[in-house]
């Protein structure tokens, strides 16, 4: 019985998340009502409120789920090793590709700037941890600015890639981002 309830909860949450993502294609979260989300998901309002406080809470859960998955992947790589950095970037781009609709929507004007900031923060945190290793001679402040510059540029390149139909493979994009991110 418990497993059946867990499965129902997961299904309900998935339906609500998918409904929100579909509606975000058309308009910003501030213009989406709970009624619209529920009608689109074929779920009643009381069920919605048993899972989420409002549409913003639902959006936060969608974003956090993606960020948690990204963080788990980022923990597996050592950015100080060039081959690992390239492998990590390729993995992340493959992940973005596998969920391209969600990323395209969340990075769009209908998404939330908060999501972009969460992605940037996650990447910066992991990269900065590697810059704190003793073999790096860069000052902490210089490393922080370099990381911000590199991460924000990479995200902008990924947004462009998403908006233009992802014609390049994840491998090609990883090489491009790595090449343009190298200090002169």
Domain residue ranges in the chain: 2-52, 58-181
Return the CATH number of 2-52, one of 3.40.50.300, 1.10.10.60, 1.10.150.120, 3.30.110.40: 1.10.10.60
The answer to whether residues 101 and 60 touch, using CB atoms and an 8 Å cutoff, is no
Looking at residue 73, its pLDDT comes to: 79
Looking at residue 79, its pLDDT comes to: 61
DSSP-derived letter for residue 165 is: T
pTM for the model stands at: 0.83
Looking at residue 35, its pLDDT comes to: 97
Looking at residue 133, its pLDDT comes to: 53
- Residue-level pLDDT, tens digit, the chain, 184 residues: 556 668 899 999 999 999 999 999 999 999 999 999 999 999 999 999 999 999 999 999 999 999 999 888 777 776 666 677 788 888 889 999 999 999 999 999 888 889 999 999 888 877 766 555 555 556 778 878 888 888 899 999 999 999 999 999 999 999 999 888 776 5
The answer to whether residues 97 and 166 touch, using CB atoms and an 8 Å cutoff, is yes
Q: Tell me how far apart the alpha carbons of residues 56 and 18 are, in angstroms, rounded to a whole number.
A: 14
The answer to whether residues 98 and 90 touch, using CB atoms and an 8 Å cutoff, is no
Sign of CA dihedral 77, 181, 96, 71: positive
Looking at residue 147, its pLDDT comes to: 83
- Cα torsion 83, 63, 18, 90 to 10°: value is -10
Burial of residue 37 (number of CB atoms within 10 Å: 0-12, 13-18, 19+): buried
């Amino acid at each position: 019985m418990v497993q059946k309830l867990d499965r129902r909860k997961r299904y309900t949450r998935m339906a609500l998340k998918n409904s929100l993502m579909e509606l975000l294609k058309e308009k910003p979260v501030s213009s989406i009502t709970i009624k619209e989300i529920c009608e689109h998901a074929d779920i009643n309002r009381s069920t919605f409120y048993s899972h989420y406080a409002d549409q913003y809470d639902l959006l936060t859960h969608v974003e956090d789920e993606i960020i948690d998955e990204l963080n788990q992947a980022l923990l597996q790589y050592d950015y100080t090793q060039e081959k690992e950095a390239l492998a990590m970037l390729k993995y992340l781009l493959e992940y973005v590709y596998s969920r391209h609709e969600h990323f395209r929507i969340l990075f769009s004007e209908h998404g939330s700037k908060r999501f972009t900031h969460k992605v940037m923060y996650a990447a910066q945190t992991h990269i900065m941890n590697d810059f704190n290793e003793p073999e790096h001679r860069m000052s902490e402040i210089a490393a922080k600015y370099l990381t911000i510059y590199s991460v924000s540029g990479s995200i902008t390149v990924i947004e462009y890639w998403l908006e233009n139909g992802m014609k390049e493979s994840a491998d090609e994009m990883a090489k491009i981002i790595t090449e343009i991110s190298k200090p002169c």
